[in-house]
Amino acid sequence: MMNLSPADFKTILSELVDENPLACRGVLRLCGTEFTDTIKTAQVTLGQRSILRVNLDFLRTHCATPEHVKAVLLHEFLHVVLGHTQRFQKVSNALNLAADAIVNAIIHRKCGDAYSSFFNRFYSETARGAINLLRSRADADLETLGVSRETLHIWTKLYQGELSLDDVYQAVCANGASALHEALKSGRLVFLGNHTGEGMEDLDLPPEIRGQLDFAHGMLRTTGALPGQQLQCGNLTVPQIEDPALKAWRTTVSELLRRLAAPDARNRARRLEARVVRLPVLHEGDRRATLQAGWSPLLPEANWLLPMAEPAVGTAVYLDVSGSMTAELQRLTTILLRFKHLLRTPFWAFSDAVTPAVFKAGQLVTGTTGGTELGCVIEHLKATRPQKALVITDGYVASPPGEWRDTLTRHGVEFLISNGGSTQIVCKLGRPVHTLPALPKR
């Protein structure tokens, strides 16, 4: 038990903001604090009025040190920054466990045993099977608990930062989750933080908050905190529905979206990116420069990670929403939602007219008139003038006039043809054409 008053909690929160582990300062200092027993642990709600809600009784019962309190706060902060509370329309117990394991491993690697010992303490009586992935104990400790060789291998890779959320989720599903379901059903296991997405469903966040989230994620990526150094935020999600086509298609879609991304000159929004800047100002994070100052007659330059405003970057996407695409739209929109951070917003839907398309509460919201006409896309390209664009269609369109080639070439348009679609007509336009792979046989 820990004697923790509201004033004590606010002192610990202020310390956490000052220490700024995992670049949490920008987001946490924008949140008001509310003490409540309507939630089990802690929850961040972002919006015009951002609030950090905390159950003090939970912290008093399960935390032994101020570092344990900070670990709970960082746990919820990382869920928010990594998009775990925002990207999933539906979640499962296995997904919740995998997301918590990823977050706990980041806290252990970057903040050490003083913080991660909270998770060892909290899960000590429920650690069975895959639940052991939530704890940071050493290999020998897990071996004494009779953990399977497969779980021990996954645990080792996870805490070395070599596994993504996809990897952990698939491992939990493959090894079975009976112990997890039993522990949750009996009430012996409680997931930390907000696992429902309440207050986080595809909000139009204020620019200041969105900028701080983007900056925090950039800092995590730049400093190597994220698992799998090369992975971007989009790789830290799993499909909303279990569908073999999602895995077969997402690689093709994500590669095209990344390759065709370009600055949006018409968008005044800016994103904060962490950049390494050399300044003649010492700080404890650059030990080489600090040591050099002890013997060099010149003041050495130290490396600083600073937020820099960069133009918004994304891919202009035109999605065919005509009647002939109905069978493909569910899968395609699920994939686009997964990679929406790579899209220009709004992106565009077309049938025989181009209309804005956005995601609300995990659903595609747009308009359609039923037919299919590329001419409306050509006119829209002329009006908006993107550097590059991706048109996703089934290819069942009318034969295009020859003069369209110049417009398509000028704006770097490429085509992605849905499974079962036709490339016969779009191939005549002289632009790159890609096709989604055939669906796996069930």
Q: What is the DSSP string of 97-138?
A: HHHHHHHHHHHHHHH-HHHHHHHHHHTTTT--GGGGGG----
H or E, element range at 144? helix 139-144
Place of tokens 């897990």: 142
The whole-model pTM stands at 0.54
Greatest C-alpha distance within the chain: 77
Distance of alpha carbon 288 from alpha carbon 197, whole angstroms: 43
User: What whole-number distance in Å separates Cα of residue 109 and Cα of residue 365?
Assistant: 40
Specify the pLDDT at position 30. 73
pLDDT value at residue 199: 44
Report the side by side order of strands in the sheet with 413-417.
363-365, 354-360, 347-350, 316-320, 389-393, 413-417, 433-435
Provide the 8-state DSSP code for 315. B
CA distance 321 to 364: 10
List, edge to edge, every strand of the sheet that includes 32-35: 32-35, 51-54, 42-45
Provide the H-helix boundaries in 29-124. 56-62, 66-81, 93-111, 113-122
One digit per residue, pLDDT tens: the chain, 442 residues? 788 999 999 899 888 888 877 767 777 777 888 899 888 888 887 766 778 889 999 999 999 999 999 999 998 888 887 776 555 545 678 888 888 889 999 999 888 889 999 998 888 776 667 788 888 865 445 555 556 677 777 888 888 887 777 778 777 776 666 667 777 777 777 778 665 544 444 445 666 666 666 666 666 665 556 664 332 333 323 333 445 556 678 888 888 998 998 887 666 666 666 677 888 888 766 778 888 888 988 888 888 877 777 777 889 999 998 877 877 888 888 888 878 878 888 899 998 889 998 887 667 888 766 667 888 999 999 998 999 999 999 988 877 777 888 999 999 999 999 888 888 888 888 899 999 887 665 5
pLDDT score recorded for residue 202: 42
Q: Which residues of 79-96 are buried (b: 16+ CB within 10 A; e: fewer)?
A: bbbbbbbbbbbebbbbbb
| Contact criterion met (CB below 8 Å) for 429 and 405 | yes
Give me the pLDDT at residue 178, please.
Answer: 67
All structural domains of the chain: 6-186 (no CATH), 278-311 (no CATH), 314-435 (3.40.50.410)
